[in-house]
């Protein structure tokens, strides 16, 4: 069994009487695509917030690549190799696609207290950014303002920004949400190309995408993981069917 | 982009031509008026760095105008007239005050940031009012202007005008370099989308704080210039309405544009001057004019230039 890159133990987070995260354990192996699914209100957003460092858990611990990151901020986690996309597309709308990705490269190229040289002329930032844009299929759109990209392209751009930080772990929050069928298929195809090379946490409502991409699936219901395993096992799990899949199928 | 460069170059040429033209037409008043415009241009350019590019709505920028002016005034009060020293103290003192105010305020966002920057400036204002030794409410005269080892004589209005013009252009160039550097990309990114900026691994706070300090230092220089311009230093330099004026120059001229704030300072002060010469109740006309200009020039005056209202 491969070494686990992310180990979450007994994570708890309550808002008043509501236990949004109620003792979650999660173990991620290097290179796997691990999907987290669950009905609305299951606590997925709260869990992601804690993993990414935007929310502090009440108790429990998160270890990333052997280091306890429970109390690190989001930027600190990002610098250690934790990249994410947001459920609602989060990009720099008033920057070009290339500038968006170049900023992600810059964030991982040492400190930015450099006051004089024009950053847009720095090949050390531009060239890697261009490579990643090509990789996600936005090479021809590099100089377009992000706000003017199609919705699907914006989602691709967000993934490009995450990849440009050369992450050890990629957290994708509903990457195909709001996409047309064709766009969605293209994204799933692109993500399956990352499989094996990239460790991915995939939070997604689209079950086709989940069952195509995931090596393992954890099912979150009312803040607890009620099942975790290979897609076939989860699909066959009676509790999961009752709590979740049954409603949709 | 070429047309834009030509227009801006023409503006600089016109500014260079103001002293000879004013002399030819025997209107020395305009040298004085334009010099005031240029000094406030520096203040507005400095605010634009944090407001236009950094998204930090500081409602207390006049504080540094006051700190810079009082640095010159207090040193002169104790008989130190060396301009190099006075201006250096003005810049360093403003930077330190900005560091103190920024260290606390930059951690906050939105209305809290506005209120904290305003509150600090009000404290400095009342400090100026209460220290009787330096004239209190009435302020104090600057009997001797800053002396520059006999190199330049600020007592000569034309020389002083060109000094201020050179400093304004230097400040604009400095901000241009800053906002296009890696440092500038970070503060602009944090303005555009803070959550995304943190998620890719930047902690915006130290960058925003440094920008805040640079803006304060630059405005401190404007304060030192203003003290020499009016030869009089009063707490009114730090009045909250003054902060509002500087902010308005930036918004009117065009946030996030290099020439914008200077254009805004020009438009605001010239219109104010013309209306004041026409009627006592000029503010009645001035107010609606400001509202209309904001409604119709969404990207500011700089947005009317070919090439649009954004630089960098």
Cα distance between residue A232 and residue A211, in whole Å: 9
B232, pLDDT greater than 90: yes
What would the mean pLDDT of B231-260 be, rounded to a whole number? 94
User: Residue A243's pLDDT is what?
Assistant: 74
What residues in A contact B186, CB-CB < 8 Å?
Answer: 103, 106, 112
Cα distance between residue B225 and residue B42, in whole Å: 10
Beta bridge pairs of residue B25: none
Among A55, A80, A92, A147, the strongest candidate for a mutation testing the B interface, having the largest count of B CBs within 10 A, is A92
Cβ pair A119:B201 closer than 8 A: no
Residues A76, A179 within the same domain: yes
Banded model confidence at residue B304, pLDDT cuts 50, 70, 90 = confident
The last residue of one of the domains, among A106, A134, A165, is A165
User: Residue B305's pLDDT is what?
Assistant: 86
User: Residue B46's pLDDT is what?
Assistant: 98
For residue B269, is it within any domain?
no
Cβ pair B185:A104 closer than 8 A: no
Residue of chain A whose Cα is closest to the Cα of B190: A92
Strand A224-229 and strand A216-221: the pairing is: antiparallel
Residues A66, A8 within the same domain: yes
Our CA-based measurement puts residue B204 at a distance from the nearest CA of chain A, in whole angstroms, of 9
For residue B283, is it within any domain?
no
From residue A189, how far is each of A36, A37, A136, A193 by CA, in Å? 19, 20, 11, 6
Cα distance between residue A235 and residue B167, in whole Å: 71
Residue of chain A whose Cα is closest to the Cα of B192: A92
Q: Which residue has the higher pLDDT, B296 or B40?
A: B40
Q: What is the DSSP letter of B146?
A: P
User: Residue A185's pLDDT is what?
Assistant: 92
Residues A174, A145 within the same domain: no
Cβ pair A95:B196 closer than 8 A: no
CB A32 within 8 A of CB A230: no
User: Residue A249's pLDDT is what?
Assistant: 42
The last residue of one of the domains, among A109, A142, A165, is A165
> Which DSSP string corresponds to chain A?
-PPEEEEEEEEEEEETTEEEEEEEEEEEETT-EEEEE--TTSSHHHHHHHHHTSS--SEEEEEETTEE-TT--HHHHHHTTEEEE-SS----TTSBHHHHHHHHHHHTSS-----SS-GGG-HHHHHHHHHHHHHHT-GGGTTSBGGGS-HHHHHHHHHHHHHHT--SEEEEESTTTT--HHHHHHHHHHHHHHBTTB-EEEE-S-HHHHHHH-SEEEEEETTEEEEEE-HHHHHH-HHHIIIIIHHH-
Our CA-based measurement puts residue A224 at a distance from the nearest CA of chain B, in whole angstroms, of 26
Residues A39, A77 within the same domain: yes
Among A75, A84, A96, the strongest candidate for a mutation testing the B interface, having the largest count of B CBs within 10 A, is A75
Among A114, A118, A146, the strongest candidate for a mutation testing the B interface, having the largest count of B CBs within 10 A, is A118
Among B187, B190, B191, B200, the strongest candidate for a mutation testing the A interface, having the largest count of A CBs within 10 A, is B200
User: Residue B268's pLDDT is what?
Assistant: 92
User: Residue B251's pLDDT is what?
Assistant: 92
Domain span at B153: 30-239
Number of domains in chain B: 1
Our CA-based measurement puts residue B202 at a distance from the nearest CA of chain A, in whole angstroms, of 5
From residue B276, how far is each of B18, B184, B269 by CA, in Å? 21, 39, 10
User: Residue B166's pLDDT is what?
Assistant: 98
- Give the CATH number for residue A235: 3.40.50.300
Token representation of residue A245: 């899949």
Point out the residues of chain A with pLDDT beneath 50: 1, 248-249
Residues A210, A242 within the same domain: yes
What residues in B contact A93, CB-CB < 8 Å?
Answer: 192-193
Q: What are B168-190's pLDDT values in tens digits?
A: 999 999 999 999 999 999 999 99
Domain span at A55: 1-81+167-249
Cβ pair A107:B202 closer than 8 A: yes
Residues A239, A174 within the same domain: yes
Cα distance between residue B220 and residue B222, in whole Å: 5
Of A90, A94, A125, the CB nearest to B196: A90
The strands making up A67-68's β-sheet, listed across from edge to edge, are A18-29, A4-15, A59-64, A67-68
Cβ pair A95:B182 closer than 8 A: no
Cβ pair B178:A117 closer than 8 A: no
The last residue of one of the domains, among A165, A197, A226, is A165
User: Residue B296's pLDDT is what?
Assistant: 84
User: Residue A245's pLDDT is what?
Assistant: 59
Cα distance between residue B251 and residue B245, in whole Å: 10
What residues in A contact B181, CB-CB < 8 Å?
Answer: 114-119
Our CA-based measurement puts residue B203 at a distance from the nearest CA of chain A, in whole angstroms, of 6
User: Residue A14's pLDDT is what?
Assistant: 94
Number of domains in chain A: 2
């Amino acid at each position: 069994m491969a070494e686990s890159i992310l180990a979450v133990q007994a994570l708890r987070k309550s808002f008043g009487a509501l236990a949004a995260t109620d003792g979650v354990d999660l173990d991620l192996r290097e290179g796997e695509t691990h999907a987290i699914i669950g009905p609305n209100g299951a606590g997925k957003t709260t869990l992601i917030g804690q993993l990414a460092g935007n929310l502090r858990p009440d108790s429990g611990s998160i270890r990333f690549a052997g280091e306890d990151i429970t109390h690190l901020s989001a930027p600190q986690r990002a610098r250690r190799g934790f990249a994410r996309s947001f459920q609602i597309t989060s990009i720099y709308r008033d920057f070009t696609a290339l500038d968006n990705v170049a900023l992600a490269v810059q964030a991982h190229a040492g400190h930015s207290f450099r006051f004089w040289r024009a950053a847009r002329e720095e090949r050390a930032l531009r060239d890697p950014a261009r490579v990643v844009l090509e990789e996600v299929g936005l090479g021809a759109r590099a100089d377009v303002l992000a706000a003017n990209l199609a919705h699907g392209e914006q989602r691709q751009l967000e993934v490009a920004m995450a990849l440009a930080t050369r992450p050890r772990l990629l957290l994708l929050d509903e990457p195909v949400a709001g996409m047309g069928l064709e766009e969605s298929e293209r994204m799933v195809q692109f993500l399956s190309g990352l499989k094996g090379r990239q460790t991915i946490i995939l939070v997604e409502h689209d079950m086709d995408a989940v069952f195509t991409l995931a090596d393992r699936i954890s099912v979150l219901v009312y803040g607890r993981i009620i099942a975790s395993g290979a897609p076939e096992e989860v699909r066959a799990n009676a509790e999961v069917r009752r709590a979740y899949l049954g409603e949709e199928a | 982009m070429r047309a834009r460069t030509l227009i801006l170059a023409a503006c600089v040429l016109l500014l260079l031509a103001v002293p000879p033209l004013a002399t030819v037409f025997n209107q020395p008043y305009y040298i004085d008026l334009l010099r005031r415009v240029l000094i406030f241009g520096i203040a507005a350019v400095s605010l634009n760095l944090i407001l236009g590019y950094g998204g930090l709505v500081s409602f207390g920028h006049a504080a540094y105008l006051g700190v810079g002016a009082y640095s010159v005034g207090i040193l002169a009060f104790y008989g130190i007239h060396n301009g190099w020293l006075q201006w250096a103290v003005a810049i360093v003192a403003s930077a330190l005050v900005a560091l103190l105010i920024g260290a606390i305020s930059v951690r906050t966002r939105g209305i809290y940031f506005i209120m904290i920057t305003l509150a600090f400036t009000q404290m400095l204002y009342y400090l100026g009012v209460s220290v009787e030794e330096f004239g209190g409410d009435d302020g104090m005269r600057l009997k001797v202007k800053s002396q520059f080892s006999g190199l330049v004589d600020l007592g000569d209005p034309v020389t002083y005008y060109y000094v201020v013009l050179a400093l304004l252009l230097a400040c604009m160039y400095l901000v241009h370099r800053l906002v296009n550097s890696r440092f500038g990309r970070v503060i602009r990114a944090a303005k555009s989308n803070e959550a995304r900026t943190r998620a890719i691994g930047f902690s915006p706070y130290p960058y925003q704080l440094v920008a805040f300090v640079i803006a304060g230092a630059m405005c401190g220089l404007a304060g030192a210039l203003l003290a020499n311009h009016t030869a009089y230093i009063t707490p009114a330099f730090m009045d909250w309405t003054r902060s509002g004026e500087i902010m308005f120059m930036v918004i009117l001229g065009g946030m996030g544009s290099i020439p914008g704030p200077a254009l805004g300072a020009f438009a605001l002060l010239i219109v104010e001057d013309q209306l004041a010469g026409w009627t006592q109740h000029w503010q009645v006309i001035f107010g609606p004019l400001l509202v209309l200009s904001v409604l119709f020039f969404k990207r500011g005056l700089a947005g009317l230039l070919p090439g649009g209202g954004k630089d960098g």
